[in-house]
A and B are shown apart, each in its own frame.
Chain A
């Protein structure tokens, strides 16, 4: 029901209530009469409208509006509608009484069929049908005065109709009692959050059906089964029967308000889960917000083809007929997750929809995170392997150059030199051979420089500490060394540390105009820490190609490179590398 329609109905109900009171001149009665008439009627219609707007999928709200409308039209007459009246309005009195009775029957039906229990539908309808029929009986009897002698009862005679109506009273009060017992039975059958959600309406319904049983004294005394009821009992009975009429609408209103609170609690769930988006946190937050400690968040594991609980254990879904039910969550035709929760939560589709949406987000997020972590792990591992393979290749090339080309060139130079020494009779030839030997040695030097650039020989021959010393000794800018290495680093880590130092030192020479460079290397806690600090002009660009490439290389094997401005001028390049 839309809000507009509800507002219109509310206005009509207000006007109809006032008109109905006016027509019957109730204003002449004591104040409590119109207060009860209008109070009960408007409360029924009002709560019904709120429920119809809040839960448009459920018929209970519209039924309550119906009950209230019946009451508003009927109630103002009922106080005068007792049996035996012979004034002009006697038939209308009877109609009023019946309308109020129908209103009670509808309320009983609301409680019986609350939150739709389909298997009980036929029985509920039968009971309510019987109630409606019983309440209709009085009108029927009143209108029988058209046929005064029907059924052999003189219905215009107060005694005659009184007896018939008293029997009808007993009958319908008993029927109402049966309805009350059935509602109470339903309440007894509910458990957990079902009871929490449905309990108020069921209890209110049971009370509003069972309390009027008290009134059975009156027809019984009329029929002469018991002594006439004293006035002192009649008044509280009147108040009680009217008081219990408002229990069901109030219980429904309470349920809707509590649902609002639950939806507010849902925003807490979103806030909690947003802070730490994990399935464990989600399950706890949802159970809290929905008031269902049995709630479980299951995620679908495609490899095991099973639902897993938040601890990763395979968990079967509850069977059909279990108090718990499953709300599956899927995406792109594949299951993603499932919410296992008390059946009664399905009463509030909006709440469940929010729970499903949050669950979908969290599980999606977890799945994406896991996939991302796996991919990242793979990429990291392969990047490290590529760097290692590159290092190994460089070492091999350096060794090949040294052991092969260099040695053969040295042998060539030596041969040429010896040949030159051996030729004593031709100075020109001897000199040419000597030049050849020098040339060969020049090539040896070139090859050695080339090999040095590919992979420093010192790193292979003597390790990182020696290689750094050699590096420092070759530097045109004076280098202050502080080396405390335990020598346990892997070749890849050592090579990376060396290249950091060598590249940073080359940068200092090229750009920094530094007076002195400090080169520190240490190996704390399974790491290598290399620092190159100069006192030059600073302004190194960490995103320039040189430092960027160095940073890539360091992070490829799980380390990190930082480039900072040194206090008082200069640059500090630090690499921390896992020694592996």
Chain B
């Protein structure tokens, strides 16, 4: 889907530990991070990922609503939150465009 939107997908990870390894190797510009990870919460990973590649745009995604996490999404340091239902082709470019305009 991301490739369909014109992104170059440099790495894929199936859990938090892998995500850190991939991020440190590839220094991506955009990270789409699921909150519900097998080895913990994506919310706790945002700071470390940002430290590995400064200037990265981190988009948190979850099947749950943002309100289900209270203020924790905002507090995590992530740039945007996207419900999975909205994670459709064209969604990420829209998010980036929105960020650039604001």
Contacts and interface: CB of A to CB of B under 8 A. Distances in A.
A466 B70 contact: yes
6 contacts: A402-B36, A418-B89, A437-B88, A466-B70, A467-B70, A469-B71
Interface stretch (A43-51, A335-343, A405-413, A533-541): A405-413
B63 A402 contact: yes
A144 interface: no
Contacts of B69: 458, 461-462, 466
Given A413-B85, A444-B85, A418 B4 contact: yes
Contacts of A462: 68-70, 72
A493 B89 CA distance: 42
Given A406-B63, A417-B88, 19 more contacts: A407-B63, A410-B85, A413-B85, A414-B88, A417-B89, A418-B89, A437-B88, A441-B85, A444-B85, A445-B85, A457-B68, A458-B67, A458-B70, A462-B68, A462-B70, A466-B70, A469-B70, A473-B67, A474-B67
Main secondary structure of the interface of A (DSSP, over half): helix
B40 to A, nearest CB: 12
A265 B35 CA distance: 78
A188 interface: no
A192 to B, nearest CB: 76
B64 A421 contact: no
Contacts of B88: 413-414, 417, 437
A416 to B, nearest CB: 10
A295 interface: no
A397 interface: no
B84 interface: yes
Interface string A425-469: 000000000000100010011001000000011100110011101
A11 interface: no
A385 to B, nearest CB: 28
Interface centre among B1, B41, B85 (most CB of A within 10 A): B85
B85 A470 contact: no
Interface residues on B, range: 10 to 19
A247 B64 CA distance: 101
B63 A410 contact: yes
A414 B87 contact: yes
B64 A457 contact: yes
A556 B12 CA distance: 48
Interface of B: 1, 4, 35-36, 41, 63-65, 67-72, 84-85, 87-89
B67 A414 contact: no
Interface residues of A, number: 27
B85 A402 contact: no
A466 B63 contact: no
A337 to B, nearest CB: 61
A110 B80 CA distance: 110
B99 to A, nearest CB: 23
A483 to B, nearest CB: 10
Interface centre among B1, B4, B35, B88 (most CB of A within 10 A): B88
Nearest to B84: A410
Contacts of B35: 461
Contacts of B4: 418, 421
A465 B70 contact: yes
B71 A466 contact: yes
Contact of B68 (A417, A421, A458): A458
Contacts of B65: 448, 457, 470
A268 B87 CA distance: 83
A407 B83 CA distance: 12
A391 to B, nearest CB: 18
A410 B87 CA distance: 9
B67 to A, nearest CB: 4
A501 to B, nearest CB: 14
Contacts of B72: 461-462, 466
Nearest to B66: A470
B1 A418 contact: yes
A445 B84 CA distance: 11
B85 to A, nearest CB: 5
A466 B73 CA distance: 11
Nearest to A403: B36
Contacts of A445: 85
Closest 8 CB pairs of A and B: A466-B70, A458-B68, A470-B67, A457-B68, A462-B70, A457-B64, A441-B85, A410-B84
